[in-house]
Amino acid sequence: MLELRPNCELCDRDLPPHSDEARICSYECTYCAECVDTVLRNVCPTCGGGFAPRPMRPLKAWRPELNLGLANHPASTKRRHSKFTSDEIESHVSQIEHLAPKDR
Ligand SMILES: [Zn+2]
Ligand SMILES: [Zn+2]
């Protein structure tokens, strides 16, 4: 199950489960759209992959027998922060950004 992380791992802004600003890489690293567009330029600082909008988990268990939805599987409350410095991120991004995600 996808871990719905509560914040941008770079600028620390809140990204609640129904934020339309949340972006994730395939490893669930989570950033806001502004950081992805301006600083990261669609390069995950950790894995080097691209980003996609984070899907919104429904509030409600639409199939009660399956116990899904946010009420049953709430968002994480553990705030995460990238361990890389701005310089490390810039050098990583500038090395990879010219490649489309499918070619990385
Ligand atoms: Zn951000
Ligand atoms: Zn990643």
Which 3 state secondary structure label does DSSP give 33? helix
Q: How far is the CA of 27 from the centre of ligand 2 (A)?
A: 5
- How far apart, in Å, are the Cα atoms of 39 and each of 29, 55, 70, 102? 15, 22, 31, 20
Domain residue extents for the chain: 22-103
Cα(13) to ligand 1 centroid in Å equals: 6
Of all ligands present, the nearest one to the C-alpha of 50 is 2
The pLDDT assigned to 98 comes to: 98
Ligand nearest, relative to CA of residue 40: 1
Residue 33 confidence class, pLDDT cut points 50, 70, 90: very high
Which residues are placed with Cβ below 5 angstroms of ligand 1, an ion?
8, 10-11, 32, 35
Which residues fall within 8 angstroms of residue 16, CB to CB, at 6 or more apart?
A: 6, 75
Q: What is the pLDDT of residues 44-69, one digit of tens each?
A: 999 999 999 999 999 999 999 999 99
Whether this model's pTM surpasses 0.75 = yes
The pair of structure tokens assigned to 68 is 């899904």
pLDDT digits (tens, 9 = 90+) for 91-102: 999 999 999 999
